[in-house]
Protein backbone atom coordinates (compact mmCIF):
# COMPACT_ATOMS: atom_id res chain seq x y z
CA UNK A 1 0.00 0.00 0.00
CA UNK A 2 1.32 3.38 -1.01
CA UNK A 3 0.09 6.69 0.44
CA UNK A 4 0.83 10.00 -1.29
CA UNK A 5 -0.06 12.98 0.86
CA UNK A 6 -0.41 16.50 -0.53
CA UNK A 7 0.41 18.75 2.39
CA UNK A 8 1.92 22.12 3.18
CA UNK A 9 3.40 20.56 6.34
CA UNK A 10 5.16 17.32 5.31
CA UNK A 11 6.97 17.05 8.67
CA UNK A 12 3.66 16.49 10.48
CA UNK A 13 3.07 13.38 8.39
CA UNK A 14 6.68 12.20 8.46
CA UNK A 15 6.98 12.50 12.24
CA UNK A 16 4.05 10.15 12.89
CA UNK A 17 5.56 7.63 10.50
CA UNK A 18 8.82 7.55 12.50
CA UNK A 19 7.43 5.84 15.59
CA UNK A 20 6.25 2.48 16.79
CA UNK A 21 4.10 0.27 14.58
CA UNK A 22 3.96 2.72 11.66
CA UNK A 23 7.75 2.96 11.61
CA UNK A 24 8.06 -0.83 11.57
CA UNK A 25 5.46 -1.15 8.79
CA UNK A 26 7.47 1.28 6.65
CA UNK A 27 10.76 -0.48 7.42
CA UNK A 28 9.20 -3.86 6.58
CA UNK A 29 8.00 -2.50 3.23
CA UNK A 30 4.31 -3.08 4.05
CA UNK A 31 3.40 0.57 3.54
CA UNK A 32 5.09 3.50 1.82
CA UNK A 33 4.22 7.08 2.75
CA UNK A 34 5.29 9.90 0.44
CA UNK A 35 4.57 13.59 0.87
CA UNK A 36 4.37 16.29 -1.79
CA UNK A 37 4.10 19.99 -1.03
CA UNK A 38 1.81 22.09 -3.25
CA UNK A 39 4.02 25.05 -2.38
CA UNK A 40 6.69 23.50 -4.59
CA UNK A 41 4.26 23.85 -7.51
CA UNK A 42 3.53 27.56 -7.13
CA UNK A 43 4.42 29.75 -10.09
CA UNK A 44 5.04 33.05 -8.28
CA UNK A 45 8.20 34.07 -6.49
CA UNK A 46 6.47 34.34 -3.11
CA UNK A 47 5.37 30.70 -3.30
CA UNK A 48 1.84 31.72 -2.38
CA UNK A 49 -0.66 28.87 -2.02
CA UNK A 50 -3.71 30.82 -0.82
CA UNK A 51 -5.58 34.05 -1.36
CA UNK A 52 -8.52 36.05 -0.06
CA UNK A 53 -12.03 34.74 -0.86
CA UNK A 54 -14.03 36.23 -3.75
CA UNK A 55 -17.21 37.71 -2.31
CA UNK A 56 -15.42 38.66 0.89
CA UNK A 57 -15.30 36.97 4.25
CA UNK A 58 -12.68 36.01 6.78
CA UNK A 59 -9.64 33.86 6.18
CA UNK A 60 -7.85 32.54 3.17
CA UNK A 61 -8.72 30.02 0.48
CA UNK A 62 -6.32 27.48 -1.02
CA UNK A 63 -5.78 28.39 -4.66
CA UNK A 64 -6.45 25.81 -7.36
CA UNK A 65 -3.26 25.98 -9.44
CA UNK A 66 -0.68 24.70 -6.89
CA UNK A 67 -2.98 21.89 -5.69
CA UNK A 68 -4.08 20.73 -9.14
CA UNK A 69 -0.54 20.83 -10.57
CA UNK A 70 0.82 19.05 -7.51
CA UNK A 71 -1.91 16.39 -7.78
CA UNK A 72 -1.25 15.89 -11.48
CA UNK A 73 2.45 15.41 -10.69
CA UNK A 74 1.70 12.37 -8.49
CA UNK A 75 2.41 9.08 -10.23
CA UNK A 76 -0.87 7.12 -10.20
CA UNK A 77 -0.73 3.37 -9.75
CA UNK A 78 -3.43 0.92 -10.85
CA UNK A 79 -6.18 0.60 -8.25
CA UNK A 80 -5.66 4.05 -6.76
CA UNK A 81 -8.13 6.32 -4.95
CA UNK A 82 -7.98 10.04 -4.15
CA UNK A 83 -9.34 11.38 -0.89
CA UNK A 84 -9.84 14.92 0.35
CA UNK A 85 -9.81 15.38 4.13
CA UNK A 86 -12.58 17.85 4.90
CA UNK A 87 -15.21 18.35 7.62
CA UNK A 88 -17.77 18.29 4.76
CA UNK A 89 -16.95 14.68 3.86
CA UNK A 90 -18.71 11.43 4.77
CA UNK A 91 -18.05 10.43 8.38
CA UNK A 92 -15.08 8.03 8.61
CA UNK A 93 -15.49 4.62 10.22
CA UNK A 94 -14.10 1.09 10.33
CA UNK A 95 -16.11 0.01 7.29
CA UNK A 96 -14.52 2.73 5.15
CA UNK A 97 -11.08 1.79 6.54
CA UNK A 98 -11.66 -1.82 5.35
CA UNK A 99 -12.74 -0.58 1.93
CA UNK A 100 -9.70 1.67 1.57
CA UNK A 101 -7.34 -1.14 2.61
CA UNK A 102 -8.19 -2.87 -0.71
CA UNK A 103 -6.47 -0.18 -2.80
CA UNK A 104 -2.81 -0.18 -3.88
CA UNK A 105 -2.49 3.59 -3.54
CA UNK A 106 -4.31 6.28 -1.58
CA UNK A 107 -3.66 9.89 -2.55
CA UNK A 108 -4.72 12.29 0.21
CA UNK A 109 -5.33 16.03 -0.07
CA UNK A 110 -4.86 17.97 3.16
CA UNK A 111 -6.26 21.46 3.41
CA UNK A 112 -5.38 24.36 5.66
CA UNK A 113 -6.78 27.79 6.46
CA UNK A 114 -10.40 28.32 5.36
CA UNK A 115 -10.59 25.54 2.82
CA UNK A 116 -10.15 24.59 -0.80
CA UNK A 117 -11.16 26.63 -3.83
CA UNK A 118 -14.19 24.71 -5.11
CA UNK A 119 -12.53 24.09 -8.48
CA UNK A 120 -10.01 21.77 -6.79
CA UNK A 121 -12.97 19.48 -6.01
CA UNK A 122 -14.45 19.89 -9.47
CA UNK A 123 -11.23 19.00 -11.26
CA UNK A 124 -9.83 16.27 -8.99
CA UNK A 125 -13.20 14.75 -7.93
CA UNK A 126 -11.89 13.18 -4.73
CA UNK A 127 -13.87 11.07 -2.28
CA UNK A 128 -14.40 13.47 0.63
CA UNK A 129 -13.91 12.14 4.15
CA UNK A 130 -14.38 13.74 7.57
CA UNK A 131 -13.08 12.30 10.83
CA UNK A 132 -15.85 13.91 12.88
CA UNK A 133 -18.15 16.88 13.28
CA UNK A 134 -15.56 19.36 14.45
CA UNK A 135 -13.10 21.53 12.57
CA UNK A 136 -9.34 21.16 12.86
CA UNK A 137 -6.77 23.70 11.68
CA UNK A 138 -5.63 21.36 8.92
CA UNK A 139 -6.09 18.03 7.21
CA UNK A 140 -2.86 16.46 8.44
CA UNK A 141 -4.24 14.97 11.66
CA UNK A 142 -7.26 13.57 9.79
CA UNK A 143 -4.92 12.17 7.10
CA UNK A 144 -2.84 10.48 9.79
CA UNK A 145 -5.97 8.97 11.36
CA UNK A 146 -6.81 7.52 7.97
CA UNK A 147 -3.28 6.28 7.18
CA UNK A 148 -2.88 4.72 10.62
CA UNK A 149 -6.27 3.00 10.69
CA UNK A 150 -6.01 1.69 7.11
CA UNK A 151 -2.43 0.48 7.65
CA UNK A 152 -3.41 -1.67 10.60
CA UNK A 153 -5.84 -3.53 8.33
CA UNK A 154 -3.01 -4.63 6.07
CA UNK A 155 -1.52 -8.03 6.73
CA UNK A 156 1.88 -7.74 8.38
CA UNK A 157 1.45 -4.30 9.98
CA UNK A 158 0.40 -5.69 13.32
CA UNK A 159 2.29 -8.55 14.97
CA UNK A 160 -0.55 -10.98 14.39
CA UNK A 161 -3.59 -10.37 12.22
CA UNK A 162 -5.78 -11.53 15.13
CA UNK A 163 -5.01 -8.34 17.00
CA UNK A 164 -6.96 -6.44 14.34
CA UNK A 165 -9.67 -9.07 14.12
CA UNK A 166 -10.66 -8.58 17.77
CA UNK A 167 -10.58 -4.78 17.62
CA UNK A 168 -13.55 -2.68 18.61
CA UNK A 169 -15.92 -2.17 15.62
CA UNK A 170 -14.49 -5.07 13.57
CA UNK A 171 -17.73 -7.01 14.15
CA UNK A 172 -19.88 -4.00 15.02
CA UNK A 173 -19.30 -4.28 18.79
CA UNK A 174 -16.80 -2.74 21.19
CA UNK A 175 -13.82 -4.82 22.32
CA UNK A 176 -14.00 -6.94 25.50
CA UNK A 177 -12.01 -5.86 28.60
CA UNK A 178 -8.37 -6.93 28.71
CA UNK A 179 -6.21 -7.82 31.70
CA UNK A 180 -2.53 -8.57 32.23
CA UNK A 181 -0.36 -9.39 35.27
CA UNK A 182 -0.67 -9.06 38.22
CA UNK A 183 -3.71 -11.18 39.04
CA UNK A 184 -4.70 -8.70 41.73
CA UNK A 185 -4.05 -4.95 41.79
CA UNK A 186 -5.33 -2.63 44.53
CA UNK A 187 -7.83 -5.28 45.50
CA UNK A 188 -9.17 -5.63 41.95
CA UNK A 189 -8.97 -9.19 40.64
CA UNK A 190 -8.72 -10.50 37.12
CA UNK A 191 -11.99 -12.40 36.37
CA UNK A 192 -11.54 -16.06 37.35
CA UNK A 193 -12.75 -17.36 33.98
CA UNK A 194 -9.68 -15.89 32.24
CA UNK A 195 -7.31 -17.88 34.46
CA UNK A 196 -8.62 -21.40 33.97
CA UNK A 197 -7.60 -22.00 30.33
CA UNK A 198 -11.10 -23.06 29.23
CA UNK A 199 -11.23 -21.42 25.83
CA UNK A 200 -14.93 -21.99 25.26
CA UNK A 201 -15.82 -20.30 28.56
CA UNK A 202 -13.37 -17.49 27.87
CA UNK A 203 -14.94 -16.86 24.50
CA UNK A 204 -18.44 -16.81 26.02
CA UNK A 205 -17.31 -14.41 28.75
CA UNK A 206 -15.72 -12.07 26.22
CA UNK A 207 -18.80 -12.06 23.99
CA UNK A 208 -21.02 -11.22 26.99
CA UNK A 209 -18.68 -8.40 27.93
CA UNK A 210 -18.67 -7.01 24.40
CA UNK A 211 -22.45 -6.89 24.45
CA UNK A 212 -22.67 -5.27 27.91
CA UNK A 213 -20.07 -2.67 26.97
CA UNK A 214 -21.62 -1.80 23.65
CA UNK A 215 -25.10 -1.51 25.19
CA UNK A 216 -23.92 0.87 27.89
CA UNK A 217 -21.16 2.85 26.14
CA UNK A 218 -22.53 2.97 22.60
CA UNK A 219 -26.28 2.35 22.48
CA UNK A 220 -26.27 3.58 18.86
CA UNK A 221 -23.91 0.76 17.81
CA UNK A 222 -25.89 -1.74 19.86
CA UNK A 223 -29.13 -0.87 18.07
CA UNK A 224 -27.41 -1.27 14.72
CA UNK A 225 -25.87 -4.63 15.71
CA UNK A 226 -29.18 -5.97 17.01
CA UNK A 227 -30.94 -5.00 13.80
CA UNK A 228 -28.40 -6.91 11.64
Q: Any idea which residues carry the catalytic annotation?
A: 87, 114, 152, 167
State the burial class of residue 174 (Cβ atoms within 10 Å of its Cβ: 0-12, 13-18, 19+). buried
Q: How far apart are CA 61 and CA 70, in angstroms?
A: 17
Closest approach of ligand ADE to the CB of residue 14, in Å: 19
- Name the residue nearer to ligand ADE (CB basis): 66 or 126: 126
Closest approach of ligand ADE to the CB of residue 202, in Å: 38
Closest approach of ligand ADE to the CB of residue 7, in Å: 12
Closest approach of ligand ADE to the CB of residue 199, in Å: 41
- Name the residue nearer to ligand ADE (CB basis): 60 or 136: 136
- Name the residue nearer to ligand ADE (CB basis): 66 or 142: 142
Chain residues in the site for ligand ADE (CB under 6 A): 85-87, 130-132, 134-136, 139, 142
Bridge pairing between strands 50-51 and 61-62: antiparallel
- Name the residue nearer to ligand ADE (CB basis): 135 or 188: 135
DSSP state of 134: S
41 contacts 73 by C-beta, under 8 angstroms: yes
State the burial class of residue 128 (Cβ atoms within 10 Å of its Cβ: 0-12, 13-18, 19+). middle
Reduced 3-state DSSP string for 87-99: EEEEECCHHHHHH
φ, ψ at 46 (rounded to 5°): -90, 0
Amino acid sequence: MRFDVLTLFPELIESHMSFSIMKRAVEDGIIEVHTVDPRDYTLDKHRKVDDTPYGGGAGMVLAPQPYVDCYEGVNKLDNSITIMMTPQGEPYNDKIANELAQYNQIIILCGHYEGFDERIREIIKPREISIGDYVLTGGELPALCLIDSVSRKIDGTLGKIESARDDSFSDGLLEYPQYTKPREYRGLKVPEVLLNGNHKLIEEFRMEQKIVRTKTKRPDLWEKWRGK
